[in-house]
Protein backbone atom coordinates (compact mmCIF):
# COMPACT_ATOMS: atom_id res chain seq x y z
CA UNK A 1 0.00 0.00 0.00
CA UNK A 2 1.31 3.41 -0.91
CA UNK A 3 -0.08 6.75 0.11
CA UNK A 4 -0.95 9.10 -2.76
CA UNK A 5 1.57 11.84 -3.53
CA UNK A 6 1.64 14.87 -1.28
CA UNK A 7 3.98 17.73 -0.53
CA UNK A 8 5.60 17.54 2.88
CA UNK A 9 6.35 20.44 5.20
CA UNK A 10 7.86 20.36 8.66
CA UNK A 11 7.80 23.99 9.78
CA UNK A 12 9.75 25.07 12.86
CA UNK A 13 7.09 27.49 14.13
CA UNK A 14 3.35 27.28 14.70
CA UNK A 15 2.75 30.54 12.78
CA UNK A 16 4.40 28.99 9.77
CA UNK A 17 2.27 25.87 10.07
CA UNK A 18 -0.87 28.02 10.14
CA UNK A 19 0.30 29.95 7.06
CA UNK A 20 0.94 26.71 5.22
CA UNK A 21 -2.52 25.40 6.04
CA UNK A 22 -3.97 28.68 4.78
CA UNK A 23 -1.95 28.53 1.62
CA UNK A 24 -3.38 25.11 0.71
CA UNK A 25 -6.91 26.34 1.41
CA UNK A 26 -8.22 23.29 3.19
CA UNK A 27 -6.31 20.81 1.04
CA UNK A 28 -3.52 20.25 3.55
CA UNK A 29 -3.60 18.12 6.69
CA UNK A 30 -1.79 18.44 9.95
CA UNK A 31 0.41 15.41 10.67
CA UNK A 32 0.87 14.59 14.36
CA UNK A 33 1.58 10.96 15.34
CA UNK A 34 0.23 9.61 12.07
CA UNK A 35 -1.48 6.65 13.77
CA UNK A 36 -4.82 7.50 12.21
CA UNK A 37 -3.74 9.69 9.32
CA UNK A 38 -1.12 7.38 7.77
CA UNK A 39 -3.49 4.36 7.64
CA UNK A 40 -6.07 6.61 5.94
CA UNK A 41 -3.42 7.66 3.41
CA UNK A 42 -2.29 4.05 2.93
CA UNK A 43 -5.86 3.10 2.07
CA UNK A 44 -6.11 6.23 -0.09
CA UNK A 45 -9.20 7.27 1.78
CA UNK A 46 -7.58 10.70 1.92
CA UNK A 47 -5.48 12.46 -0.69
CA UNK A 48 -4.38 15.81 0.73
CA UNK A 49 -2.23 18.08 -1.39
CA UNK A 50 0.19 18.52 1.50
CA UNK A 51 0.99 17.38 5.01
CA UNK A 52 2.12 19.88 7.63
CA UNK A 53 4.10 17.89 10.17
CA UNK A 54 4.16 19.48 13.65
CA UNK A 55 7.16 17.49 14.90
CA UNK A 56 9.60 20.41 14.67
CA UNK A 57 7.38 23.01 16.30
CA UNK A 58 8.94 23.66 19.71
CA UNK A 59 7.01 23.56 22.96
CA UNK A 60 4.07 21.50 21.75
CA UNK A 61 4.90 18.41 23.79
CA UNK A 62 5.12 19.86 27.28
CA UNK A 63 2.92 19.00 30.25
CA UNK A 64 2.55 21.91 32.64
CA UNK A 65 0.54 22.44 35.83
CA UNK A 66 -0.81 25.96 36.39
CA UNK A 67 -2.99 27.18 39.22
CA UNK A 68 -6.24 25.76 37.92
CA UNK A 69 -5.39 23.72 34.84
CA UNK A 70 -3.23 20.90 33.59
CA UNK A 71 -1.82 22.00 30.23
CA UNK A 72 -0.95 19.16 27.87
CA UNK A 73 0.76 20.13 24.62
CA UNK A 74 -1.02 18.74 21.58
CA UNK A 75 2.06 16.80 20.41
CA UNK A 76 2.50 15.04 23.74
CA UNK A 77 2.73 11.35 22.89
CA UNK A 78 0.00 9.25 24.43
CA UNK A 79 2.58 7.14 26.17
CA UNK A 80 4.36 10.18 27.62
CA UNK A 81 1.04 11.33 29.09
CA UNK A 82 0.34 7.85 30.41
CA UNK A 83 3.55 7.86 32.47
CA UNK A 84 3.49 11.56 33.39
CA UNK A 85 3.44 12.20 37.17
CA UNK A 86 1.23 15.27 36.64
CA UNK A 87 -1.36 13.23 34.78
CA UNK A 88 -1.23 10.46 37.37
CA UNK A 89 -1.68 12.90 40.21
CA UNK A 90 -4.22 15.33 38.80
CA UNK A 91 -5.98 13.45 36.02
CA UNK A 92 -5.89 9.79 37.04
CA UNK A 93 -8.94 8.98 34.89
CA UNK A 94 -6.99 10.11 31.83
CA UNK A 95 -4.14 7.80 32.74
CA UNK A 96 -6.59 4.94 33.03
CA UNK A 97 -8.20 5.82 29.69
CA UNK A 98 -4.81 5.96 27.96
CA UNK A 99 -4.25 2.31 28.84
CA UNK A 100 -7.14 1.53 26.50
CA UNK A 101 -5.90 3.60 23.54
CA UNK A 102 -4.51 1.13 21.01
CA UNK A 103 -1.32 -0.65 22.05
CA UNK A 104 1.99 0.37 23.56
CA UNK A 105 3.60 0.69 20.07
CA UNK A 106 0.80 2.97 18.81
CA UNK A 107 0.88 5.11 21.96
CA UNK A 108 4.58 5.86 21.51
CA UNK A 109 3.72 7.75 18.30
CA UNK A 110 0.06 8.76 18.69
CA UNK A 111 -0.51 12.15 20.31
CA UNK A 112 -3.07 13.63 22.69
CA UNK A 113 -4.00 16.41 20.25
CA UNK A 114 -4.19 14.03 17.29
CA UNK A 115 -6.67 11.75 18.99
CA UNK A 116 -8.87 14.68 19.98
CA UNK A 117 -8.72 16.31 16.53
CA UNK A 118 -9.48 12.98 14.88
CA UNK A 119 -12.74 12.79 16.88
CA UNK A 120 -13.35 9.10 16.44
CA UNK A 121 -16.73 8.53 18.12
CA UNK A 122 -15.38 5.49 19.98
CA UNK A 123 -12.09 7.07 21.07
CA UNK A 124 -11.28 7.28 24.78
CA UNK A 125 -9.51 10.67 24.93
CA UNK A 126 -12.40 12.77 23.56
CA UNK A 127 -14.60 10.94 26.08
CA UNK A 128 -12.42 11.84 29.08
CA UNK A 129 -11.86 15.39 27.81
CA UNK A 130 -15.63 15.86 27.97
CA UNK A 131 -15.93 14.09 31.33
CA UNK A 132 -13.27 16.38 32.79
CA UNK A 133 -14.72 19.65 31.40
CA UNK A 134 -11.54 20.10 29.39
CA UNK A 135 -10.97 22.54 26.60
CA UNK A 136 -8.60 22.93 23.70
CA UNK A 137 -6.47 25.97 23.06
CA UNK A 138 -6.44 26.56 19.35
CA UNK A 139 -4.33 28.78 17.10
CA UNK A 140 -5.47 29.73 13.63
CA UNK A 141 -5.46 32.31 10.84
CA UNK A 142 -7.79 34.59 12.81
CA UNK A 143 -5.99 34.29 16.14
CA UNK A 144 -6.24 32.12 19.22
CA UNK A 145 -9.31 30.79 21.00
CA UNK A 146 -10.31 28.12 23.46
CA UNK A 147 -13.07 25.65 22.69
CA UNK A 148 -14.80 23.66 25.43
CA UNK A 149 -14.94 19.92 24.78
CA UNK A 150 -18.70 20.02 24.51
CA UNK A 151 -18.48 22.61 21.71
CA UNK A 152 -15.58 20.88 19.94
CA UNK A 153 -17.01 17.48 19.07
CA UNK A 154 -19.56 17.77 16.32
CA UNK A 155 -20.21 14.41 14.69
CA UNK A 156 -18.38 11.31 13.44
CA UNK A 157 -14.73 12.28 12.79
CA UNK A 158 -15.79 15.93 12.76
CA UNK A 159 -14.89 18.80 15.06
CA UNK A 160 -15.79 22.47 14.99
CA UNK A 161 -12.18 23.48 14.25
CA UNK A 162 -12.13 25.99 11.41
CA UNK A 163 -9.92 25.31 8.37
CA UNK A 164 -6.35 26.24 9.23
CA UNK A 165 -6.87 25.92 12.98
CA UNK A 166 -4.42 23.82 14.98
CA UNK A 167 -4.90 22.47 18.48
CA UNK A 168 -1.87 23.74 20.40
CA UNK A 169 -2.78 22.57 23.86
CA UNK A 170 -5.36 20.69 25.87
CA UNK A 171 -6.36 22.31 29.17
CA UNK A 172 -8.06 20.36 31.90
CA UNK A 173 -8.98 21.33 35.46
CA UNK A 174 -7.44 18.92 37.99
CA UNK A 175 -9.73 16.28 39.45
CA UNK A 176 -10.83 16.48 43.05
CA UNK A 177 -8.31 14.38 44.99
CA UNK A 178 -11.16 12.47 46.64
CA UNK A 179 -13.19 11.77 43.52
CA UNK A 180 -13.96 8.21 42.55
CA UNK A 181 -13.49 7.41 38.88
CA UNK A 182 -13.34 4.54 36.41
CA UNK A 183 -13.15 3.80 32.71
CA UNK A 184 -14.90 0.69 31.46
CA UNK A 185 -14.81 -0.51 27.92
CA UNK A 186 -15.90 -3.36 25.74
CA UNK A 187 -14.03 -4.38 22.58
CA UNK A 188 -13.68 -7.80 21.02
CA UNK A 189 -9.93 -7.74 21.64
CA UNK A 190 -7.94 -5.53 24.00
CA UNK A 191 -6.36 -2.74 21.97
CA UNK A 192 -9.14 -2.63 19.40
CA UNK A 193 -11.34 0.41 19.22
CA UNK A 194 -14.06 0.29 21.85
CA UNK A 195 -17.53 -0.74 20.82
CA UNK A 196 -18.68 1.24 23.83
CA UNK A 197 -16.61 2.88 26.58
CA UNK A 198 -17.75 4.76 29.67
CA UNK A 199 -15.94 7.29 31.83
CA UNK A 200 -17.43 7.85 35.28
CA UNK A 201 -16.47 10.36 37.96
CA UNK A 202 -18.32 10.62 41.29
CA UNK A 203 -17.93 12.74 44.39
CA UNK A 204 -19.70 12.44 47.73
CA UNK A 205 -20.89 9.27 49.45
CA UNK A 206 -23.69 6.72 49.39
CA UNK A 207 -26.18 9.13 51.00
CA UNK A 208 -25.30 12.21 49.05
CA UNK A 209 -23.65 12.38 45.66
CA UNK A 210 -22.36 15.93 45.25
CA UNK A 211 -21.29 15.45 41.67
CA UNK A 212 -21.61 12.72 39.06
CA UNK A 213 -20.21 12.77 35.58
CA UNK A 214 -20.77 10.03 33.03
CA UNK A 215 -19.72 10.13 29.40
CA UNK A 216 -20.09 7.39 26.81
CA UNK A 217 -18.05 6.77 23.67
CA UNK A 218 -19.36 4.57 20.89
CA UNK A 219 -22.96 5.34 21.81
CA UNK A 220 -23.42 8.11 19.23
CA UNK A 221 -21.58 10.13 16.61
CA UNK A 222 -19.60 11.94 19.31
CA UNK A 223 -18.96 11.44 23.03
CA UNK A 224 -22.23 11.87 24.94
CA UNK A 225 -22.92 13.02 28.47
CA UNK A 226 -25.36 10.72 30.22
CA UNK A 227 -27.18 13.57 31.91
CA UNK A 228 -30.30 11.68 32.98
CA UNK A 229 -28.09 9.18 34.76
CA UNK A 230 -25.99 11.92 36.40
CA UNK A 231 -29.08 13.75 37.65
CA UNK A 232 -30.59 10.65 39.18
CA UNK A 233 -27.39 9.94 41.12
CA UNK A 234 -27.13 13.53 42.30
CA UNK A 235 -30.73 13.49 43.48
CA UNK A 236 -30.80 10.10 45.14
CA UNK A 237 -27.24 9.14 46.12
CA UNK A 238 -24.88 6.35 45.26
CA UNK A 239 -26.57 3.36 46.84
CA UNK A 240 -26.82 0.11 44.88
CA UNK A 241 -30.47 0.58 43.97
CA UNK A 242 -29.93 4.04 42.53
CA UNK A 243 -26.87 2.88 40.60
CA UNK A 244 -28.96 0.11 39.07
CA UNK A 245 -31.75 2.50 38.08
CA UNK A 246 -29.33 5.16 36.84
CA UNK A 247 -27.51 2.62 34.66
CA UNK A 248 -30.82 1.64 33.08
CA UNK A 249 -31.46 5.32 32.48
CA UNK A 250 -28.05 5.58 30.82
CA UNK A 251 -28.95 2.81 28.37
CA UNK A 252 -32.37 4.35 27.64
CA UNK A 253 -30.95 7.80 27.01
CA UNK A 254 -28.51 7.00 24.20
CA UNK A 255 -29.39 6.77 20.52
CA UNK A 256 -26.57 4.82 18.86
CA UNK A 257 -26.69 3.78 15.23
CA UNK A 258 -25.97 0.31 13.90
CA UNK A 259 -22.80 -0.41 11.96
CA UNK A 260 -21.03 -3.61 10.87
CA UNK A 261 -19.32 -3.86 14.28
CA UNK A 262 -22.39 -3.74 16.50
CA UNK A 263 -26.14 -3.23 16.35
CA UNK A 264 -27.76 -0.20 17.94
CA UNK A 265 -29.40 -2.45 20.55
CA UNK A 266 -26.08 -4.01 21.52
CA UNK A 267 -24.47 -0.58 21.94
CA UNK A 268 -27.40 0.54 24.08
CA UNK A 269 -27.16 -2.61 26.17
CA UNK A 270 -23.40 -2.12 26.64
CA UNK A 271 -23.94 1.48 27.72
CA UNK A 272 -26.08 0.28 30.63
CA UNK A 273 -23.81 -2.61 31.61
CA UNK A 274 -20.61 -0.58 31.43
CA UNK A 275 -22.15 2.41 33.25
CA UNK A 276 -23.03 0.10 36.12
CA UNK A 277 -19.55 -1.42 36.20
CA UNK A 278 -17.82 1.95 36.00
CA UNK A 279 -20.00 3.39 38.76
CA UNK A 280 -19.34 0.36 40.91
CA UNK A 281 -15.59 0.80 40.69
CA UNK A 282 -15.73 4.59 40.99
CA UNK A 283 -17.84 4.39 44.16
CA UNK A 284 -15.43 1.84 45.67
CA UNK A 285 -12.59 4.34 45.19
CA UNK A 286 -14.57 6.94 47.13
CA UNK A 287 -14.11 4.78 50.18
CA UNK A 288 -10.33 4.95 49.85
CA UNK A 289 -8.95 8.11 51.53
CA UNK A 290 -6.65 9.11 48.68
CA UNK A 291 -5.32 7.54 45.55
CA UNK A 292 -3.00 8.29 42.67
Phi, psi of 159, rounded to the nearest 5 degrees:
-115, 175
Q: Does 74 bind ligand FAD (CB under 6 A)?
A: yes
Q: Does 8 bind another protein (CB under 8 A)?
A: yes
Residue 182 pairs with which residues in a beta bridge?
200
Pairing type for strands 209-217 and 166-172 reads unpaired
Decide if 263 contacts 174 (C-beta within 8 A): no
Give least dist CB 120 to another protein, A.
13
The residue from 34, 99, 174, 237 that contacts ligand FAD (CB under 6 A) is: 34
Q: Does 256 bind ligand FAD (CB under 6 A)?
A: no
> 4 or 292: whose CB is closer to another protein?
4
> 92 or 99: whose CB is closer to another protein?
99
The residue from 58, 85, 105, 292 that contacts another protein (CB under 8 A) is: 105
Nearest to 243 by CA among 254, 232, 255: 232
> 85 or 163: whose CB is closer to ligand FAD?
163
Residue 285: exposure state from Cβ atoms within 10 A (0-12, 13-18, ≥19): middle
> 5 or 66: whose CB is closer to another protein?
5
- Which part of the chain contacts ligand FAD (CB under 6 A), choosing from 16-24, 94-102, 142-150, 207-215? 94-102
The residue from 24, 76, 94, 111 that contacts ligand FAD (CB under 6 A) is: 111
Could you tell me what percentage of the chain is helix, strand and coil, using 3-state DSSP and rounding each to the nearest 5? 35, 25, 40
Report the alpha-carbon distance of residue 132 to residue 135 in Å, rounded.
9
Give least dist CB 91 to ligand FAD, A.
16
Amino acid sequence: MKPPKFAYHAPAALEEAIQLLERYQGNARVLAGGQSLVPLLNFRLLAPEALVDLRKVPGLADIRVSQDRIHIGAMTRQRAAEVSPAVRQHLPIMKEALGWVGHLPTRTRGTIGGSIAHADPSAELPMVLLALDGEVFVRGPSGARTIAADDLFDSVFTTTLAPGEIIAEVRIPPMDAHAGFAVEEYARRKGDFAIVAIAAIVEGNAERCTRARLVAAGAGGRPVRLRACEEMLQQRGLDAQTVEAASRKAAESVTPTADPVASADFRRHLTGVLAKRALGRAIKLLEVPSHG
